[in-house]
Structure 1
Amino acid sequence: MTRDEVLDIFRECGAILEGHFVLTSGLHSPVFLQKARVFQYPDKTEILCKALAERVRAEVPGGIDLIVSPAVGGIVPGYETARHLGVRAVWVEREDGEFRLRRFEIPKGARVMIVEDILSTGLSIRETMAAVEKLGANVVACGVLVDRSDGEVDVGVPLVALAGYKVPAYPADQLPPELAALPAVKPGSRGLA
């Protein structure tokens, strides 16, 4: 699946938004990928995650034992990618501000792949990796549907990205005038009560 085919699915679902957005990372961007608009369509989600699973088979030697995703955004693509790989899918969730595996167990030494929806700074992936490694499992790769850094972010293990899509992002005190002139919207899930 090509980058353009991936982005076409996002466009078809109305998931590429333009305006002034505050990302989960705290950075500001003129573009937001509202993946929930894609995930509401099981057929579109299946196309993307099946393609990601095929890339994982080709690019991750030795395979994986299970997928771990950060809640909330990574649960759907993690589950659907795991389905196509024939492995379990579990997730971490925040407890006292830190990701923890609350509902599941991971065997020590398990070969784990972290699957996330969109990669911007890699913070959620690194936090998920820390939670998994604390339990004695081995993170062998990470997978994302879209890498907003287009390869610039290093998560510490091989990254399998279905598509790279470089989108500008700025600290709040370094906004270009055209972005600063628009009201900021925070559409992500982190910080919701």
Structure 2
Amino acid sequence: MEQTWKVEEAIQRTGVLKEGHFLLSSGRHSGQYMQCAQLLQHPAEAEGAGQALARLFADLDVDVVVGPALGGVIIAHETARAAGVRCLFAERKEGKMTLRRGFSIQPGEKVLAIEDVVTTGGSVKEVVDLLESMGADIVGIGAIVDRSGGKAAFRHPFRALMNHTIQSYAPEECPLCDQGIPVIKPGSRETLKA
């Protein structure tokens, strides 16, 4: 992928931004949802995003890139490939982030944590806490899209390729529910009672 790859164009080109009535993982409702899997399903787009994130953090010394499963796996891999370092992913076991599959971090290793979309930053914060408990040196946190509106507070430098704010509502205050529009839980295509 050439250096002319631009995240905003790729988001539009691949249909990442969805319109409708969505139940977010936070329990809130929204009229928009960002599904970065739509971008990452295309190897050339994933490569472009990984190269762009690697350039965004080129000023940092990085030994390994780590992403949370599932959303952060592909983009962490592509970022690591572009940076010329190894890639790991953390996954949940009994509700807690952990490194499995023989993955390990050595004390003092410089880690860049990468996610596809940051909304609250909860998953990537869990990964950072896990890695710090293993003695890792977290040098930065990155994402394709920061949709937190600046609300995802991290203790480490955070950079995203794109900022996009999506309005959300408490279910009892949702105007889409008031209009009787069916609620969809993203990723499952499950239509819920409005």
TM-score normalized with structure 2 length: 0.88
Q: Which residue of 1 aligns with 2:192?
A: none
> Displacement of 1:167 after TM fit?
1.1
Distance in 2, Cα, partners of 1:54 & 1:110: 20
Change (3 A) 1:184 1:56: same
Q: Which residue of 1 aligns with 2:47?
A: 46
Gaps in structure 2 of 5+ consecutive residues: 189-194
* Amino acid aligned to 1:26: G
RMSD over aligned Cα, in angstroms? 1.9
Instruction: Say whether the 8 Å CA contact 2:144–2:161 is kept in structure 1.
Output: yes
Q: Which residue of 1 aligns with 2:96?
A: 98
Map 1:25-64 → 2, pairs under 5 A: 25-58=26-59, 60=60, 63-64=61-62
Q: Please identify the structure whose Cα radius of gyration is greater.
A: 2
Instruction: Say whether the 8 Å CA contact 1:53–1:81 is kept in structure 2.
Output: yes
* Amino acid aligned to 2:42: Y
The superposition leaves residues 94-140 of structure 1 with CA deviations (integer Å, 9 ceiling, x where unpaired) of 00100001120110111111100000011111111111112111212
TM-score normalized with structure 1 length: 0.88
Greater relative contact order: 1 or 2 (C-alpha under 8 angstroms, separation 6 or more)?
1
- The secondary structure found in structure 2 opposite 1:185 is strand
Change (3 A) 1:143 1:185: same
Identity over aligned residues, as a percent?
A: 38
Q: Which residue of 1 aligns with 2:22?
A: 21
Gaps in structure 1 of 5+ consecutive residues: none
Q: Which residue of 2 aligns with 1:84?
A: 82
Distance in 2, Cα, partners of 1:170 & 1:64: 38
Distance in 2, Cα, partners of 1:180 & 1:139: 44
Corresponding residue pairs, total: 184
> Displacement of 1:188 after TM fit?
3.8
